[in-house]
Structure 1
Amino acid sequence: MKKIVVLATGGTIAGASASVGDGVAYRAGEVPVSSLLAQVPGLEQLLGSCTLVAEQVAQVNSKDMDYGLWQALALRCVHWMAQDDVSGLVITHGTDTLEETAWFLQRMLDVAPLAQVLTTAQARKPVVLSSAMRPSTARLSDGPQNLADAVSVLQDARASGVLAVAAGHVHAARAVHKVQPYRVDAFSSGDAGLLAHVEEGRVRWLRDPAMASEQDVLATAQSAKTLWDCMGNPEAAWPWVEVLVSHAGADGRSLRACLQAGVQGVVLAGSGNATLHTGIEAAASTLMQQGVPVWRTSRCLEGSAVAGAESVVPLAMCGGQVLRPMQARTEMVLQVLAGVRP
């Protein structure tokens, strides 16, 4: 009998408020996973012949997500995905940092076969992040339906890799980003587009969720082993990587202050096509000359920076595509952690 595993980490989906009418003044990460699952409409029918296993990994507001929890989550993913009777995982997570955790998990699973912690087939099992914009105690909580949709996606034969499911939409880890602070349809995949819609428990795919297997700097046995060894080391020294914004009046002081304080990497969210203020560019050049990696990307809400513009700062690239600021920061953290020079 196949299993579906739910790993709970807290977030608004597990939030509680004093009043059913209060969708803002609530405490995230209060309701246990067993209670969340009890609220899911028609869960037994959705599961069919599958059994459900639930594990409370953490209870946090995702704004407070940290590396220790990322490590724990990665290890629990490997533990369950290595079991032949497990079809895939649902991870309940807050919306605020979901896009960062999604990219972290995608990249760790990308290299898991090289580190020999999972086979290729095991690493491609679907991992679906489920979230909510209203607490579980709200009159119209969106969490139960989002969880139901996550289970539906997980059971679809085409599902693969790390996905985010919310408001009936399926997003890829590479593209998903939060664009709304309040509405229930809070995520976008930009011009990359959605992967699928979930309609009455059925998944209507718009494009193939499987990512092309492309060689990158983390895709070596040594880098993969170093990363996965770090996951099992609670004393691992995670690098300090900062995101800074290029804006009107920028003069590079923030970059120079970070350098003086010991920053180990910087991602610059540039204006327009990842362009940088002259003051920022000059300061970035100084950091790079002193061995601190600096990348640039666009602060624009939609679209992706296009290569070709002159700059001493390289674009934040992965798999031939320019990453968004938060994915770029996560990518740089992993590259520095792996001992790769970004």
Structure 2
Amino acid sequence: MGTGGTIAGLGDAQGGGVGYQAGQLGVAQLLQPIADQAVPQGWSLELEQVAQLDSKDMDVTVWLQLAKACQRWLLQPEVAGVVITHGTDTLEETAWFLQCVLQPAKPVVLTCAMRPATALSADGPANLRDALACTAQGRAGVWAVAAGEVHSAQQVHKAHPYRVHAFTSGEAGPAGWVEEGRVRWVGGSEATLPCAAAWTEWPVADAWPWVEIVTSTAGARPAAVDALVAAGVQGLVVACTGNGSVHQALQQALQRAQDRGVRVWRSTRCEHGRIVLAQGEEDPLVSPLSPLKARISLMLELLQQAHQA
């Protein structure tokens, strides 16, 4: 399934890696140059263009279209898995969203490119080939494949704005590597920690709760939190400094937000690791996820609570 992104981008005739327009080629065009070599023997492909956009503009509407399309294909017994071409900018968010709402018993593999299709060093064809190989392995869950590495939906994040090797799973490391058309999995790799129950009903995009990320920084000002609460925000994820600390100027504003019914979660803005609580301490408002993925999980939790009310 195609959604656009740099992998489907076109640039100038010089073959450069920047200054291109994303989301110009359809998924059928992406597959055409590699189909003979990339499709595992005995397998066939069905193609669907779900969207055609630069992933910086990804939104809930497209997420819902993509989730519904995945669900429709995955329910068919003869379908072994789904490959999705996606932009790099929000791939980690889409991967986590799909893992949470689908919790698939078959592989759903997202892939991408850091160079447009017209670049001299285009990485899209190899990434798409590797994604097909990963799907053929049949390991359940949502995965991201790029630069020869397989990453879980929970751990993957974009760590570099330009290099081809742009994705990482931080201290967890890759879940596997694609080598000559085969995946070498790290022992015991799982797609993700458990989520809430998979979704069977899909509310329209306008019904989704509004959740924002607030970053605790030097010189942080509480007015930002107050403005969001006044505008009707329903949830906040605080990207905390270090091991979950929050600037004192934000603390009272966050408490005011909670007093007005806004859900507030904490995550760390550090690239590696998660907030570690003292022995015996429990805090349900501390998320082990990155701020970006914690925001998605909080949106889904608020949505589920509203549905059950």
User: Shorter-chain TM-score: what band?
Assistant: over 0.9
Query: What is aligned with 2:172?
Result: 192
Kept in 2, the 8 Å contact 1:160–1:209? The answer is no
Change (3 A) 1:31 1:212: closer
Kept in 2, the 8 Å contact 1:281–1:312? The answer is no
The structural deviation recorded for 1:95 is 0.5
Does 2:113 correspond to 1:127?
Answer: no
Change (3 A) 1:128 1:212: closer
Query: What is aligned with 1:74?
Result: 67
Does 2:307 correspond to 1:326?
Answer: no
Does 2:179 correspond to 1:207?
Answer: no
Does 2:26 correspond to 1:32?
Answer: yes
Please point out which of 123, 128, 134 is paired with 1:153.
134
Residues 188-217 of structure 1: CA deviation (Å, up to 9, x unaligned):
101122100111112111133335774x6x
The structural deviation recorded for 1:94 is 0.3
Kept in 2, the 8 Å contact 1:156–1:203? The answer is yes
Change (3 A) 1:313 1:278: farther
Query: What is aligned with 1:65?
Result: 58
The structural deviation recorded for 1:278 is 0.8
The structural deviation recorded for 1:42 is 4.7
The structural deviation recorded for 1:235 is 5.9
Kept in 1, the 8 Å contact 2:153–2:191? The answer is no
Kept in 2, the 8 Å contact 1:294–1:314? The answer is no
Does 2:257 correspond to 1:287?
Answer: yes
Change (3 A) 1:315 1:306: farther
Change (3 A) 1:183 1:259: same
Change (3 A) 1:290 1:10: same
TM-score by length of 2: 0.93
Change (3 A) 1:142 1:43: same
Count of residue pairs the alignment pairs up: 306
Q: Distance between the aligned counterparts of 1:185 and 1:235, measured in 2?
A: 33
Query: What is aligned with 1:10?
Result: 4
Query: What is aligned with 1:113?
Result: none
- Please, what is the CA RMSD of the aligned residues? 2.1
One-letter code of the match for 2:259? Q
Kept in 2, the 8 Å contact 1:294–1:313? The answer is no
Query: What is aligned with 2:236?
Result: 266
Q: Percent identity?
A: 47
Unaligned 5+ residue runs, structure 2?
none
Please point out which of 170, 174, 185 is paired with 2:154.
174
Query: What is aligned with 1:106?
Result: 99
Please point out which of 49, 53, 71 is paired with 1:56.
49
DSSP-derived class of the 1:228 partner: coil
Q: Distance between the aligned counterparts of 2:76 and 2:251, measured in 1?
A: 49
DSSP-derived class of the 2:178 partner: strand
Query: What is aligned with 1:298?
Result: 268
DSSP-derived class of the 1:154 partner: helix
Change (3 A) 1:133 1:327: same
DSSP-derived class of the 1:145 partner: helix
One-letter code of the match for 1:245? T
Kept in 1, the 8 Å contact 2:85–2:111? The answer is yes
Q: Distance between the aligned counterparts of 2:88 and 2:73, measured in 1?
A: 23
Query: What is aligned with 1:117?
Result: none
Kept in 1, the 8 Å contact 2:2–2:84? The answer is yes
Change (3 A) 1:39 1:260: same
The structural deviation recorded for 1:236 is 4.5
Change (3 A) 1:183 1:109: same
Change (3 A) 1:213 1:169: closer
Q: Distance between the aligned counterparts of 2:98 and 2:178, measured in 1?
A: 23
Kept in 1, the 8 Å contact 2:115–2:122? The answer is yes
Does 2:246 correspond to 1:276?
Answer: yes
Query: What is aligned with 1:3?
Result: none
Kept in 2, the 8 Å contact 1:77–1:89? The answer is yes
Query: What is aligned with 1:115?
Result: none
DSSP-derived class of the 1:16 partner: coil
Unaligned 5+ residue runs, structure 1?
1-6, 111-122
Residues 159-196 of structure 1: CA deviation (Å, up to 9, x unaligned):
22000000000000000011000001111101122100
